[in-house]
Amino acid sequence: MAATATEVTTLETLIEKAGGPVRLLRSSNLGPYIFPGIPTEFTNFRDEGRSWKQSVALLEQSYHMFELHVRGPEAIQFLSQFSVNNYSKFPPLKGKQIVLAAPDGNLLADAIVFRESEDFFRIVGAPFASDWLLFQSLSTSLNVTVEINPSWTVLEAPRDVFRFQLQGPNALPLVQEVSNGTLPDIKFFGIGEFQIAGQTVRALRHGMAGTPGFEIYGPWDSQQAVRAAVEEAGVKYGLFKVGANAYPLSAQESGWMAMPLPAIYAGEDTRPYREWLSPYHLESIGSLGGSLVSDRIEDYYVDPIEVGYGGLIDWDRDFVGKEGLRAKADNRRRTKVTLEWHDDDVAAVAASALFGDTPSRYVGFPLPMYSTWQSDLVRLNGKPVGVSQWSSYSPNARHVLSLALVDIDQAEPGTELVLDWGEPDSQRATVDNHAVKQIRVRVAPSPYFEKVIKTKA
C-alpha cells in the first residue's frame, strides 16, 4: 500500500515507507501537470492550437508557474553554483534558460531566469528549480535573499506580476499596435519595457511555440487594462486565447521536453534535500506512469546533454554535477527526437479502449498523458531503444507526437520504431484494467517544425 502524506513528514520518509522511490511514484494517483485559473478551452483546442502557427495565440502564464525571487550582490555567484550556464554575458534586462544538474550529472530542472536589475533575478517555471534553489539558499554563506512565489495550485492569491505570452506570425504587429510607439527593439531573449493602455509592462522576446513571440508581464493590479487592450486589438489579428487543453501542445511542437523526472530520488548527495521536501511538494506527490517498468529510479532520469542543453554548459568553471555531467558527455548514448505516432494505430487503440473485448489503455485527446512523469518504452524488433515522454495531439501536424530519448543509432528521421502503450501491473486507481498495445512510431526531428523565433522586433 502506498504511504500517505498524513503518516510521514518528508519525501525521504515517504520513500522509505513505500519501499523505494519507484514504488512511491508508481502508486500515486496524481495526474498530469495542471494549468489552473483558465478554462480547458476558450473556443476549442484545435483552433487554439493552430493559432500560434496561423495568427496569434495568447497563452496564459499567470497561474501555473512558480517564481523564485533571488536578490543580492552575490546572486550571480549563487546561481552559478547550482546551474550549468555561462553568466559572463548576462546583463540586466536579459533572460536565460537556466539548467540545473543534480550531483550525479542528471537533469534536476530547467526554468527561465529574468535578470530584472543588477541584483534581482526571477526564476520562472515548474516548481523543481525553485524548490532546489530555495533549499540551497538556506545554507549558503553568500549575500542573497530568496523568496518563493507559488503557483495557484498552492495558493490562489494575487501575485507579484501577471504574465502571458503572445505567440505567432501576428504577435509582432499586435504588440506594435497596442504599445502605441513605445515598443523598443528587443533582441532574442532580451527584456524590454514599454506601455500598453497607459500601464508599464515588460516583455521577454522568445518563442515557446517555435514562432516569434513576447512574454509580457507587469504589476498584478494593472492587468485588466492591459488584457482589455490586447484582446480588443487582437480581433483583427486573429487572436485566440489558449485554454488548459491546448497550452501544453506548444512545448511539444517547439521541442522543449517539459518536466522530466528530477534526479533527486536516490543517493546520499540529495538525501538532505529529500529530508527537507514536505509530503505536499510535487516531488513527493507526483506520479510516474507508462510502459517503462524498472526497479531503478535512475532508469527514468534524463541528462542535460541528451535533452539538448549541451550548448548551454560552461565547462570552464565548477558547478554542482559537473563531474557526473562530464562523464555523460564522454559516453553519449541517447538523443532527443520527436516520435510521430501512426494514425491508424492510434485510432485502433482508442477504439479498443472504448469498444474492444480486450481494452487498451485509453488515449485522451489532446493529451494522452495520464501521469506527472510519463515514460513509455520504445522498441525496435522487440529490443528497447528509447523512452517516450511528453506526448500530445498536434492540430498543426495532425498527428499525435511525443518527445523521446532514443539510442543515437536509431535517431535518423524516418526510422520506424514501436511504442508500448499502457501501464503493466498498474497500482494506480486512475488507470483502468487494460492490455498493453503497440503503436508504430516514426522518428522525426525535434523540434518538429522549424523554429523562427529570432526575428527582430
Q: Give the span between the Cα atoms of 283 and 285, in whole angstroms.
A: 6
pTM here is 0.94
Strand locations in 299-398, DSSP E? 334-341, 373-374, 376-380, 383-394
Q: Give the span between the Cα atoms of 214 and 207, in whole angstroms.
A: 7
Residues making up the binding site: 215
Q: How far is CA 225 from CA 60, 198, 437, in A?
A: 16, 8, 51
197: phi > 0 → left, psi -120 to 50 → alpha, else beta; which?
left
pLDDT in tens, the chain (457 residues): 454 545 558 999 999 999 999 999 999 999 998 899 999 999 999 999 999 999 999 999 999 999 999 999 999 999 999 999 999 999 999 999 999 999 999 999 999 999 999 999 999 999 999 999 999 999 999 999 999 999 888 888 899 999 999 999 999 999 999 999 999 999 999 999 999 999 999 999 987 656 669 999 999 999 999 999 999 999 999 999 999 999 999 888 889 999 999 999 999 999 999 999 999 999 999 999 999 999 999 999 999 999 999 999 999 999 999 999 999 999 999 999 999 999 999 999 999 999 988 899 999 999 999 999 999 999 999 999 999 999 999 999 999 999 999 999 999 999 999 999 999 989 999 999 999 999 999 999 999 987 544 434 3
Domains observed in the chain: 45-64+158-254 (3.30.1360.120), 66-149 (3.30.70.1400), 333-447 (2.40.30.110)
In sign, the C-alpha dihedral spanning 135, 263, 290, 424 is negative
Q: Give the span between the Cα atoms of 109 and 270, in whole angstroms.
A: 14
Query: What is the per-residue pLDDT for 356?
Result: 86
CB 114 within 8 A of CB 121: yes
Residues making up the binding site for substrate: 215
Query: What is the per-residue pLDDT for 454?
Result: 46
Place of cell 492550437: 49
H or E element at residue 194 = strand 191-196
User: Cis link prior to 447 (omega < 30° from 0)?
Assistant: yes
Q: Give the span between the Cα atoms of 146 and 15, in whole angstroms.
A: 28
Q: Give the span between the Cα atoms of 329 and 319, in whole angstroms.
A: 15
- Report H helices in 122-180: 127-137, 171-179
Query: What is the per-residue pLDDT for 242?
Result: 98
